[in-house]
Amino acid sequence: MRFPGRRLPFAVEFGSHAAPSPLSVSHLEQGRIVLIGGGRTSDAGAIRQEIAFVERGELWENEDLFSRLVDLNSSGVPFQSHAREMESPDLLMAWWQEAGKLNASFKEISWSSPDQWLITTIDPPVAGVRGWSGPKPFGH
């Protein structure tokens, strides 16, 4: 279950077919938050921006990273879906919600095809919903 404790249905916004994707948080790379947007998933002409953060300890305990990702979230920047990368920004945001550290929704962007993206709003979890019983250690 990808997002336990979240009420269904999720709010979803679909981009127009072949429309450039918005700038979004893609991944973390050696002390930098990488943002990519303005193109399709395979588009080499996409815009890339980087925001440095201080690397201290584990990512889920890093206050500087948390602060910068929360600022991006407050600006409406979506987080790319990387379900298989345990320390991806979208999963960090979900875990911070589950741990009670982040009490706000965030937006996750994913692609159903190279020319079609969608943005899903991920609300904070509620105990008892979809089997969620409360926070667990990161990665479990």
The tens digit of pLDDT for each residue in 17-31 reads 888 889 999 999 999
| 54 in a structural domain | yes
Q: What residue numbers bound the domain in which 119 lies? A: 11-131
- Residue 53 falls within a domain, yes or no? yes
Question: Rounded to a whole number, what is the distance in angstroms from the first to the last CA of the chain?
Answer: 12
**Residue 3 forms part of a structural domain:** no
Residue 39, in any domain of the structure:
yes
| 2 part of a folded domain | no
Please count the structural domains in the chain.
Answer: 1
Q: Is residue 125 part of a domain?
A: yes
Placement of tokens 């409406």 in the chain: 76
- pTM here is 0.85
**Surface-to-core class of residue 33, CB atoms within 10 Å of its CB (0-12 exposed, 13-18 middle, 19+ buried):** buried
Confidence (pLDDT) at 123: 93
Residue 19 lies in a domain: yes
What local confidence, expressed as pLDDT, does residue 31 receive? 95
Q: Is residue 6 part of a domain?
A: no
Alpha-carbon distances of 69 from 18, 20, 129, 140, rounded to whole Å: 28, 22, 26, 22
